[in-house]
Amino acid sequence: MSKKQIRIGMIGYKFMGKAHSHAYRDVPFFFDCDGVPVMQAICGRDEEGVKAAAQKLGWASYETDWRKLIERDDIDLIDIGAPNNAHAEIAIAAAKAGKHILCEKPLAMSVEEAKEMLEAVNKAGVIHMICHNYRFVPAIQYAKKLIDEGKLGSIYHIRANYLQDWIIDPNFPLVWRLKKEVCGSGALGDLAAHSLDLARFLVGEFKEVNGMMETFIKERPIGEMSGGLSASVKGGELGKVDVDDASIFMARFENGAVGVFEATRFAGGNRNGNRFEINGTKGSIRWDMEQMNTLEYYSAEDEIGSQGFRSINCQEDIHPYAGAYWPPAHIIGYEHTFINLFAELMNGIASGTNPTPNFEDGHNNQMVLEAVEKSARTGRWVSISELRG
């Protein structure tokens, strides 16, 4: 049977550009999808940089203006890895041009923007996804399965934190990820966005939140990202940090569960500590991205005396996506979360059915993010419904 060629135009060529490019390369190797990605064009403002990236990352051509990319007839899917403040404009234009869209998270700078983006893709009838890759860890998908099967019963608690330390040095430069006009927020939109998306995926919809945001280092030397999470100072001038170094919030969910969330870039020794624990009437689960293949699972239905958290290595054929890779416990890593997500995207475009998480999730996540910001400003609980407008 013939497969559908899906021609990609990708915007952004640094950390996320590399992760996405790799996933496009690898998805047909591991998965037998109905859609096959064709790495048509990569786009970035700096011609020298994007040209080199095209060659290094395996793209057939490049563009320096995203508008041109969208105009091209030979592109089916626009993959938006540009900074957060560019998401809305690009996505709306791409939708109008009838392109399918994959957008990095957080979806937008505001609920209002997110709503416009959602309306645009809905109106255009294109396939859309938001790149919440951590949903696609086999251990997370298996956790979802356990919860859906009732193995945890009704949920009482989620406690999630996402701890990093890459800017703990006060001399780490002021890069785009620390500028409000580019990012919207700091640890909140970058890290807590992942945690709350997992919470929505595994626990349910948020009802209300109450949070705080903190900027420990108010000024930093101006500089720029140099790849991954590294950066370099450019000149000695100081600039004001106007995003949060750390954000904490409490939550109530529609189903009665309560939650507590923390995201920070100031937790020394935690390089990528994306972790949570969920407790229900019948069982509990724990997960840590740094050991992402392992799901810890406690069942209150195990025999008395033999109860305890089991350490499950979710690289077995029965675990979602795991069978595509290697034998049991021959572990996979960070990049595979993208490959799995992209497999869903390829199948979704080929079949015309929209996968999750998509712009609706992005919009709903944005409401939670904005509610946290509002509660941090006002010092009180904010209902998600207040944000729905």
In the bound complex, what is the minimum distance in angstroms from residue 352's beta carbon to a second copy?
A: 25
CB of 283 to a second copy, least distance (A): 6
DSSP characters for 86-98? GHHHHHHHHHHTT
Taking the complex as a whole, the smallest distance from the CB of residue 95 to a second copy amounts, in Å, to 30
* Nearest approach, Cβ of residue 55 and a second copy (Å): 10
**Closest by alpha carbon to 206, among 192, 220, 217?**
192
Pairing label, strands 273-280, 77-80: unpaired
Q: For residues 118 and 128, give the distance between their C-alpha atoms in angstroms, rounded to a whole number.
A: 9
d(CA 367, CA 365): 5
H or E stretch at 41: strand 35-43
For the CB of residue 294, give the shortest distance to a second copy in the complex, in Å: 8
Nearer residue to a second copy within complex by CB, 66 or 276:
276
- Tokens, residue 188: 């909140």
How far CA 249 is from CA of 188, 258, 261, in Å, comes to: 10, 11, 5
Q: Which residues contact 224 (CB under 8 A, 6 or more apart)?
A: 173, 175, 176, 231, 232, 234
Nearer to a second copy, 29 or 352 (CB): 29
CB of residue 359 vs a second copy: minimum separation in angstroms?
25
Number of residues that this document lists for the chain: 389
> Which residue lies nearer to a second copy by CB, 293 or 358?
293
- The answer to whether the beta carbons of residues 120 and 96 sit under 8 Å apart is yes
**Between 26 and 360, whose beta carbon lies closer to a second copy?**
26
Q: How far is the CB of 152 from a second copy (least distance, A)?
A: 8
Nearer Cβ to a second copy (247/358): 247
Smallest distance, Å, CB 279 to a second copy?
A: 5
> 153: burial class by Cβ within 10 Å (0-12, 13-18, 19+)?
middle
Closer CB to a second copy, residue 24 or residue 359? 24
Q: Which is nearer to a second copy, 236 or 268 (CB)?
A: 268
Q: What element of type H or E holds 209?
A: strand 206-214
Q: Which is nearer to a second copy, 120 or 251 (CB)?
A: 251
Q: Give the C-alpha separation, 303 to 16, whole Å.
A: 46
The single residue listed with the structure tokens 């795991």 is 322
Task: Return the number of the residue (273 or 355) whose C-beta is nearest a second copy.
Answer: 273
CB within 8 Å of 69: residues ≥ 6 apart: 9, 11, 41, 43, 63, 75, 78
Distance of CA 110 to CAs 87, 115, 262, 297, 388, Å?
11, 9, 20, 36, 11
CB of 340 to a second copy, least distance (A): 13
